Structure 1
Amino acid sequence: MRAALTALLSLVATSALAQQPLDVPAKQLPVPNTVSPQVQKLIGAPLRNNWNIQPKTGEEWKVVADQGAEPTIKNLPKLLDDLKVKVEKQTIDGVRVFVVTPEKILPQNKNRVLIHMHGGCYVLNPREAGLPEAVMIAAFGGFKVMAVDYRMPPEAYFPAALDDGITVWKALLKQKVKPKNIGILGTSAGGALTLAMVLKAKELKLPMPGAISSGTPMSDVTKAGDTFQTNEMVDNVLVSRDGFCDAGTKVYANGRDFKDPLLSPVYGDMGGFPPTILTSGTRDLLLSNTVRVHRKLRQAGVIADLNVYEGQSHAHYLRDHTAPETKEVFTDMGKFFDRHLGK
């Protein structure tokens, strides 16, 4: 009896010890020389300006979003010219979209189309500011892309962005586009929306798309996940789990439980998901968010690729279209869609 009690006490003590936080000494992180000069420049940049702002209303966020959109919109003509892509505004069943078309749609993609959901913590990158990712996959992958300019606060709140994406999906189905010929992609909030759209489609009993791409998704906005701790103040884009992105999500969620799978898709049932490609970086605050989705998909028997890029913080692959790593990200993504979409 005494031996059993001793063993039990030892087990409890060991368990308590194992749960102690790890003290890590302060240190400087050098910029790795294992990446391109363009990515070295991104890694070596200071922390994002205003990373810790905390607007509390949709109206406050709109001011921030409009100001932040200006540089991207100003630089968009050069991006379109460099990558030989054109953009046309449309409205589909009341939803604003941009039709993004490369100079050359690859022959195998003639009957295929991608739906793009932009990132920005559900409150940023309005209008053309949400287009760079759609332009890059159009150019490097040779696809026609429908980029959804979904409603954001203060125009609308959860689940408006999701609803707008689903509306465009249904419209393509009504236009007789084969479900297997439709792909969905997005990064950050757009990556979470991509996953949430599939969860919602399952609920609505819509046919599944042929494949999806979810880049560094905000898949758990409860802030669970190891790299919310280990990469805090290392990721120079999101910077902190308690920074601007958390503040934006709170406004968009509008009181909804953060564990709702349509806000935190990692808590959803991923059985029956289409083949999925996930992208992150070693310094990404949301690396764990991405890894956990990958494990959840694999556990559900879903085909899922996980690409993690050296040294990159959150969505660095969207920040310089001349970087070889950016071309690699979107070329791999294009190849993945080509393997899994219908012909």
Structure 2
Amino acid sequence: MKNRPAIYLLALAFSIFNLTALTAQERNIPERILPVPETVSSELKAMIAAGSAPFWNDHPASAQEWKAWVNELASQVIKELPALREAMKVKVTQATIADVKVFIVTPDEIAPENANRVLLHFHGGGYVLNPGEAATSEAIMVAGHSRIKVISVDYRMPPDFPYPAAMDDALAVYRQLVTQNEPARIGVFGTSTGGGMALALIHRIKTEGLLLPGAVAAGTPWSDLTKTGDSYYSNDTVDNVLVRYEGWLGDAAKLYANGHDLKDPQLSPVYGDFSVFPPTILVSGTRDLFLSNTVRVHRKLRNANISSDLIVFEGMSHAQYLFDANMPEAKEFLTEVDGFFNRHLKK
């Protein structure tokens, strides 16, 4: 071997490497320390340095435990809402549309270009979190920033109301909206579960033969309830919000699905048909457990020749652009969504 030309040894090394790469199913990643990136805002740096959400690995074992857990977390969110409503200059009222509970978020002043437009919002929370008023924070931020009316759907959730209750509520509200508003003037949006529901609603609308809305904004959508996609693994424990699929998140997927196939497009819309779809903007972060969920939807849309924007924030874990309305990344998110809807919704 020592008399072999160097080029021969190099070729042999590449051959062995390629053979290993073709047969190996896993890679062993060395333990490492991830620094707080210098390339993000000071507000986001603080979120990254704060570590994981304390409740990520909670596992409620009964319907009663799920309800108590959800209500405790919701009470913490609700405390922050009066200040947020005041800062964003909006009013929130409860109502029902098609027998579904909703919150109507109205800015003190509606922008002239949005006089005939309305946005339909679905909240995040793994299909189990943020009932009632706790569901409205993202709707408040978008309504206030864009000065547009937002209808936030307080859809039914498990353990009392598993799939398909949430999607039935989503469709019922949309069906009523299109009797009063031109579909091209309706935008649909949400983050996490809400982003997944926005995508799944489009699939459902097509099945029902209804006219499509003008545009969709899906923030870090839970588009695949199974543990499929690279970032479920590569960002495992890197994301300090969701942290791991094996925490409460995986339990919530099974609780909501209630025995249905998790790859049903109404549960995991990434598996649906994107050949006819409204223009869509997608948002994620480099540390987001759902980064692959977001990227895979973007590729499905692009491959179907659908107009789709993808925004990926540096260093950001799951949905952290909603954690502080004053954070530069939050303002960027709101500006991107506002601009997208303004370009694609009919005036």
Q: TM-score, normalised by structure 1?
A: 0.94
Alpha-carbon distance in structure 2 between the residues aligned to 1:59 and 1:154: 9
The one of 234, 252, 261 equivalent to 1:230 is: 234
Determine if the alignment matches structure 1 residue 240 to structure 2 residue 231: no
SS class of match (1:237): coil
Task: Give me the whole-angstrom Cα distance separating, in 1, the residues matched to 2:16 and 2:225.
Answer: 32
Identical aligned residues as a percent: 50
The offset of 1:295, in angstroms, is 0.1
Question: Is it true that 1:258 corresponds to 2:258 in the alignment?
Answer: no
Counterpart for residue 6 of structure 1:
none
Per-residue CA deviation, residues 183-203 of structure 1 (Å, 9 max, x unaligned), is 100111111100000000000
Instruction: Give 1:40 shift.
Output: 0.9
Alignment of 1:68-147 (within 5 A): 68-147=73-152
Given that residues 126 and 253 in structure 2 are in contact (C-alpha distance below 8 angstroms), is that contact kept between their aligned partners in structure 1?
Answer: yes
Task: Tell me how far 1:15 sits from its aligned partner.
Answer: 5.4
The one-letter code sitting in structure 1 at the alignment partner of 2:116 is N
Find the counterpart in structure 1 of residue 319 from structure 2: 315
The offset of 1:45, in angstroms, is: 1.3
Unaligned residue ranges in structure 1 (runs of 5+): 1-9
Distance 2:72 2:131 in 1: 10
Moved over 6 A (4+): 10-13
Question: Cα gap change, 1:117/1:19 in structure 2, threshold over 3 Å: closer, same or farther?
Answer: farther
RMSD between superposed Cα atoms in Å: 1.5
Match 2:341 to one of 329, 333, 337: 337
SS in 2 for 1:52: coil
**1:39-78 to 2 correspondence within 5 Å?**
39-78=44-83
> Which amino acid letter does the alignment assign opposite residue 66 of structure 2?
W
Q: CA deviation at 1:82?
A: 1.1
Q: Which runs of 5+ in 2 are unaligned?
A: 1-13
Distance 1:282 1:13 in 2: 28
Q: Is the 8 A contact 2:183 2:212 kept in 1?
A: yes
Question: What is the CA–CA distance in structure 2 between the aligned matches of 1:153 and 1:59, rounded to whole Å?
Answer: 11
Q: How many residues align?
A: 333
Q: CA offsets, 1:75-117, max 9 Å, x none?
A: 1000011111110000112100000011221110100000000
**Superposition deviation, residue 55 in structure 1:** 2.3
Question: 1: CA distance between counterparts of 2:160 and 2:97?
Answer: 18
Are residue 210 (structure 1) and residue 214 (structure 2) matched? yes
Aligned to 1:196: 200
Residue type of the alignment partner of 1:308: V
Higher RCO, 1 vs 2 (CA within 8 Å, ≥6 residues apart): 1
Shift of 1:16: 5.5
| Residue from 164, 167, 173 that aligns with 1:162 | 167
Please say which of residues 11-20 and 229-238 is displaced more in the overlay. 11-20
- Does residue 271 of the first structure (1) align with residue 256 of the second (2)? no
Distance in 1 separating the partners of 2:145 and 2:172: 27
- Displacement of 1:50: 2.2
Kindly tell me: are residues 12 and 158 of structure 1, through their superposed partners in 2, closer, same or farther at Cα, counting changes over 3 Å? farther
* Alpha-carbon distance change, 59 to 253 in structure 1, aligned in 2, over 3 angstroms: farther
Cα deviation 1:205-253 (Å, max 9, x = unaligned): 1100000001111111111100011100000000002111111111111
Task: Compute the displacement of 1:11 (Å).
Answer: 9.1
Name the stretch that deviates more: 13-22 or 29-38: 13-22
Task: Decide whether aligned partners of structure 1 residues 259 and 106 sit closer, same or farther in structure 2, where only a CA change above 3 A counts.
Answer: same
Distance 2:107 2:63 in 1: 34
**Partner Cα separation in structure 2 for residue 322 and residue 46 of structure 1:** 21
In structure 2, how many angstroms separate the alpha carbons of the residues matched to 1:43 and 1:194?
28
For the Cα contact (< 8 Å) 1:213–1:333, is it kept in 2? yes
2: CA distance, partners of 1:17 / 1:334: 44
Counterpart of 1:249, as a letter, is: A
> Which structure would you say has the larger Rg?
2
Q: How far is 1:17 from its partner?
A: 3.1
